[in-house]
Structure 1
Amino acid sequence: MNNLALEKLISQKLNSATIADYAPNGLQVEGRPEIRKIVTGVTASQALIEAAIARHADAVIVHHGYFWKNEDPCIRGMKGKRIKTLLINDINLYGYHLPLDVHAELGNNAQLAKLLKIENLQPLESDSVSIPVFGELAQPISLEDFARRIEKSLQRKPIVCNAEELTQNPPHLIRKIGICTGGGQGYIDLAAARGCDTFISGEISEQSTHSARELGIHYFACGHHATERYGIRALGEWLAQEYQFEVEFIDIDNPA
């Protein structure tokens, strides 16, 4: 498939044009015109690019690409090396950020919810495109059991803020869960206001602990990278199944 046709195909699938973002979504670095072999990954790091070269990939598709708002526009240093490597090897780079967070089927939130058996996802915000969502477990479980489910599913032990530490009337069982993968910890207050007993994100901030304790909502920080592996992987699987691309997901380890 032509590289511009692939951009159009993915952008339409993820409804990219309808979502305001902090970086350009779509083809960010142009390489060879025809694409057969694709490597997917969370972040367009040098390690992922080198892995794509080793596999003779025509394109790399990631969740975290380049050219973020307010970053230095100069192509030098680390960014210069990455882009130079792509250009020398004629590899296309596609990046899809928020569109790959919020998509109802392939998105990070949806894929994480599926992995953790959270059902009936609904928007947490009232905006036309809600970044965080919430859903429910079919059967409520204890905080300890849910923490074990996360660790087993993500192969990573989460940081747990237990609302029972200071709250007089804490949620004893987990059922209604807010989700925002990656750096979505700021939505914990909204999740509490919408009646969630639990909130899941990737990162944790100093104030997250206090919000959990004082608002009476459990909080699980499961890792930015760990919570955002599944959307890009699902996108690659969709491309392979529907359009017969050769796609390989490469997980570059990241403890963050």
Structure 2
Amino acid sequence: MSSVPTVDRAALLAACNAELQPERFKDYGPNGLQVEGAERIRKIVSGVTASRALIDAAIEAGADALFVHHGLFWRGQDGTVTGWMKQRLTRLLAHDINLLAYHLPLDAHPTLGNNAELGRVLGLQASARFGEQELGFIGSRVDGEAFADADVLAWQIEHALQRPVLQVGPSGTPIERVAWCSGGAQGYFEAAIAAGAQAFITGEISEPQAHLAHECGVSFFACGHHATERYGAPALAAYVAAQLGIEHQFIDIDNPA
């Protein structure tokens, strides 16, 4: 009987860092290993956020490592280990699970990141990058055709993401140049407009963007923070797991936000 393949924690971390290059980014929290667990890793579970529900699911799945986009530690936290933080950490430490988290580096990865994968799911092909740290992608449909109008684009997004989309701004004219940036990237809207976008796709919308969409004639689509960021973590984790010869499983904990 053959033994189950495992990999050293340091090798897993090195593989993730080599792909994501976290040192290139100015971020809101630490990227890489946030919680140290078992030294040998047989199975990695990926998910969007290191919530208690995902941690419990990873325990049930027999994970030795958890790979997420939203980790536990963020700039501005008070640093206490109480309440929800204690509950999450207790579970990770009790079951010796490594927590690896990559925020902006996972958004930016050119082929396996959140924005690259969101483009793939939506049938979009990037031709350029824009915005702070070049996190935003801009391009057109893979088939080169224009969307008939914003309503058609909204239908395609809803069909691909399987959730309602909030559409603000003009409709009735063809859309050729589309910009997108996953998650809470509503602040990138003005940069998208400056880059020549006729439509902008992200996860959330704030009050100013509704006015800008109408005044600048650029359609804005708020498609859900979680819904736009559930593709990068499994893509990257699966790629690294295949490289290292270990097991991978994606667990999607639904979030309406």
TM-score range with shorter-chain normalisation? Answer: over 0.9
**1:138-149 pair list within 5 angstroms:** 138-141=144-147, 142-149=149-156
In structure 2, the residue matched to 1:9 is 15
User: Paired residue for 1:49, among 43, 47, 55?
Assistant: 55
Partner Cα distance (1:200, 1:100) in 2: 18
* Deviation per residue, 1:33-77 (Å, 9 max, x gap): 000111100000000000011111101110000110011211111
1:115 is displaced (CA, Å) by 1.2
Equivalent position SS for 2:249: strand
Which amino acid letter does the alignment assign opposite residue 49 of structure 1? I
Q: What TM-score do the two structures reach when normalised by structure 2? A: 0.93
* Deviation per residue, 1:183-227 (Å, 9 max, x gap): 001111111122110001001111111110111100100000000
1:134 aligns with 2:138: yes
In structure 1, the residue matched to 2:108 is 102
**Structure 1 segments of 4+ aligned residues over 6 angstroms from their partners:** none
Contact 2:201 2:223 in 1 (8 A): yes
In structure 2, the residue matched to 1:31 is 37
The number of residues matched between the two structures is 248
In structure 1, the residue matched to 2:3 is none
Which amino acid letter does the alignment assign opposite residue 77 of structure 1? G
Partner Cα distance (1:205, 1:76) in 2: 31
Equivalent position SS for 1:11: helix
1:162 is displaced (CA, Å) by 2.5
Q: Which runs of 5+ in 2 are unaligned?
A: 1-6
Percent identity, aligned pairs only, is 46
Equivalent position SS for 2:89: helix
In structure 2, the residue matched to 1:156 is 163
Partner Cα distance (1:223, 1:79) in 2: 24
Contact 2:119 2:126 in 1 (8 A): no
Which amino acid letter does the alignment assign opposite residue 169 of structure 2? N
* Deviation per residue, 1:72-115 (Å, 9 max, x gap): 21111101110111001111100000000001011111111111
